[in-house]
């Protein structure tokens, strides 16, 4: 795809999903960080059902840093991989208290130094908590669409992200983080994608090759 087609693709999806936004519920950067950590290998819907009761009682780094690990595991059990997530959340909270005065850092490098925080999580926190998109968070939907359309032929999320970033101006990073995920959920699904309802099929490599 050329630059003109890339921009047309984004503008088309923006019109298709004018209300596209992050589906995780949060009120502070710290709540956002915890929610994104919990969302790994878990649906945003499940996370949103789990966090309200937790955040009503525990919503600061101090709360989680001092929490008994077994209690934390029980609170987040429904989100899956709860032992590893609980360990990372507690360790991250302790670092925030000790090193960052209980504040979530607002750089990619500092975020990615925290336990349980990879580039995808850091991208989401920078975008949603600080309104400062630094890249594109490549989840399963974004990966699928990027591969199908032809934005990238890579399989690793970080390599896919770099391919995407090379093709779009930074002013589109905010929208790309939302519209690709929404399109993947609503139209370009893993099984039985709704190609007949897709407004960007003219840009899709796999549609042109009639693989669906």
Supply the CATH number for residue 92's domain: 1.10.340.30
Question: Which of 74, 104, 128 is the C-terminal boundary of a domain?
Answer: 128
Examine the domain organization and report whether 40 and 92 are in the same domain.
yes
Examine the domain organization and report whether 55 and 119 are in the same domain.
yes
Give the mean pLDDT of 17-33.
Answer: 96
User: Which residue among the candidates 44, 85, 90, 139 is catalytic per the annotation?
Assistant: 139
Measure Cα distances from 179 to 52, 63, 138 in Å: 26, 35, 12
What is the distance between the alpha carbons of residues 23 and 37, in angstroms, rounded to a whole number? Answer: 14
Examine the domain organization and report whether 97 and 166 are in the same domain.
no
Question: Which of 104, 128, 152 is the C-terminal boundary of a domain?
Answer: 128
| Mean of all residue pLDDT scores within the chain | 95
Token pair, residue 136, equals 């594109």
Question: Does the structure show a pLDDT above 70 at 203?
Answer: yes
Question: Which of 93, 128, 163 is the C-terminal boundary of a domain?
Answer: 128
Examine the domain organization and report whether 121 and 35 are in the same domain.
yes
Number of domains in the chain: 2
Examine the domain organization and report whether 122 and 48 are in the same domain.
yes
Question: Does the structure show a pLDDT above 90 at 46?
Answer: yes
Examine the domain organization and report whether 77 and 105 are in the same domain.
yes
Range of the domain at 144: 3-20+136-208
Examine the domain organization and report whether 36 and 124 are in the same domain.
yes
CATH number at residue 203: 1.10.1670.10
Question: Does the structure show a pLDDT above 80 at 20?
Answer: yes
- The secondary structure of residue 92, as a DSSP letter, is H
Catalytic: 197?
Answer: no
Examine the domain organization and report whether 51 and 122 are in the same domain.
yes
User: Which residue among the candidates 85, 90, 120, 143 is catalytic per the annotation?
Assistant: 120
Q: With beta carbons less than 8 A apart as the criterion, state whether 172 and 10 touch.
A: yes
Question: Does the structure show a pLDDT above 90 at 100?
Answer: yes
- The secondary structure of residue 188, as a DSSP letter, is S
pTM: 0.91
Examine the domain organization and report whether 84 and 119 are in the same domain.
yes
Examine the domain organization and report whether 43 and 117 are in the same domain.
yes
Examine the domain organization and report whether 45 and 67 are in the same domain.
yes
pLDDT the model gives residue 211: 55
- Work out the pLDDT band at 3, boundaries 50, 70, 90: confident
Place of tokens 């209690």: 71
Examine the domain organization and report whether 59 and 150 are in the same domain.
no
> Which residues, in sequence order, are CB contacts of 32 under 8 Å at separation 6+?
24, 26, 104, 124, 125, 128, 129
Catalytic: 139?
Answer: yes
């Amino acid at each position: 795809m050329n630059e003109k087609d890339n921009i047309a693709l984004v503008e088309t999806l923006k019109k298709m999903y004018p209300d596209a936004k992050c589906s995780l519920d949060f009120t502070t950067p710290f709540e956002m960080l915890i929610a994104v950590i919990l969302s790994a290998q878990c649906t945003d819907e499940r996370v949103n059902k789990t966090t309200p009761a937790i955040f009503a009682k525990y919503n600061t780094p101090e709360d989680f840093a001092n929490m008994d690990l077994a209690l934390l595991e029980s609170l987040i059990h429904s989100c899956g991989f709860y032992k590893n997530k609980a360990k990372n959340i507690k360790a991250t909270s302790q670092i925030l208290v000790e090193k960052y005065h209980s504040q979530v850092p607002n750089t990619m490098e500092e975020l990615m130094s925290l336990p349980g925080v990879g580039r995808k999580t850091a991208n989401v926190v920078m975008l949603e908590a600080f309104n400062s998109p630094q890249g594109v968070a490549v989840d399963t939907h974004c990966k699928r669409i990027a591969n199908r359309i032809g934005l990238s032929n890579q399989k690793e999320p970080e390599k896919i992200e770099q391919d995407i970033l090379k093709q779009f101006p930074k002013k589109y990073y905010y929208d790309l983080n939302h519209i690709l995920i929404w399109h993947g959920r609503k139209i370009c699904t893993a099984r039985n994608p709704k190609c007949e309802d897709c407004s960007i099929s003219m840009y899709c490599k796999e549609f042109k090759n009639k693989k669906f």
